[in-house]
Amino acid sequence: MAGHSGAVDGWGAHWLRPASAPMPIAQEAMRDITALGGVTLRNLLLLCVAAALMIAHHKQIALWLVIVALSGWLTESVLKYGVARARPDMADHLAYAGGPGFPSGHSFNATLIALALSFAIRPFLRSAGLQYFAFAVALMAGLLVAWSRVWLGVHYLSDVLAGWLGGTAWALFGALLAPRHVLPLPGAGNETGA
């Protein structure tokens, strides 16, 4: 709000946005990527995984997943409306975006949900390599959504960095607070899903 992020935001606008009118296929691809952090797709995915966990008799993991997602969304919303930072005033927004800009809700929630899902399925992935791969894919999904928000001109770079870092922190915080019998993490010594 004080303008201290101006240099970072200027760099992001210069290097992470198209220099000229984007090709329609590129614009459509970015809208598809940004939709991964939108309310509909992220919540649909969350509900499907939570339902599958319930059906498979892993109710505690499903409940943890829903609590972490809802509490993260609430936290992001309080921050967004508490800060009430305006979005970039560029004339060429390439997607609809409403409400304040900081932190990016798409970046925060896409990262949070992706990481929470990677933690929720971790007990069912037998190899450490697959577990780390799921974690890396979740982080990259959040970064792609963040980049798409800057590319589409609806957020400053500092908005999406705050969103990505906030979503990551909330997911890690939720995972660390989960009881080990609910969400066993590496080194906990008690695996479920066998």
Residue 19 has pLDDT above 80, yes or no: no
pLDDT given for residue 189 in this prediction: 45
pTM over 0.75: yes
- Residue environment code for 44-55, b if the CB has 16+ CB neighbours within 10 A, otherwise e: eebeebbeebee
Position 18, amino acid: P
Question: Which residues fall within 8 angstroms of residue 183, CB to CB, at 6 or more apart?
Answer: 61, 64, 119, 120, 122, 123, 175
Rounded Cα–Cα distance for residues 86 and 31 (Å):
21
Residue 12 has pLDDT above 60, yes or no: no
pLDDT in tens, 56-101: 999 999 999 999 999 999 999 999 898 877 777 765 655 666 777 7
Instruction: Specify the higher pLDDT residue, 3 or 120.
Output: 120
pLDDT given for residue 192 in this prediction: 44
Rounded Cα–Cα distance for residues 194 and 177 (Å):
23
Average pLDDT, the chain: 83
Contact by Cβ (8 Å): 41, 113:
no
- State residue 2 phi and psi, 5-degree precision: -85, -5
Q: What is the mean pLDDT of residues 28-33?
A: 85
pLDDT given for residue 183 in this prediction: 77
pLDDT given for residue 185 in this prediction: 65
pLDDT given for residue 5 in this prediction: 59
CA dihedral 138, 144, 147, 148 (to 10 degrees): -130
pLDDT given for residue 191 in this prediction: 46
Query: Structure tokens of 178?
Result: 């989960």
pLDDT in tens, 91-138: 565 566 677 778 898 999 999 999 999 999 988 888 889 999 999 999
Rounded Cα–Cα distance for residues 113 and 99 (Å):
21
**DSSP secondary structure letters along 66-115:** HHHHHHHHHHHHHHHHHH-PPPP--S---S---S--SS-HHHHHHHHHHH
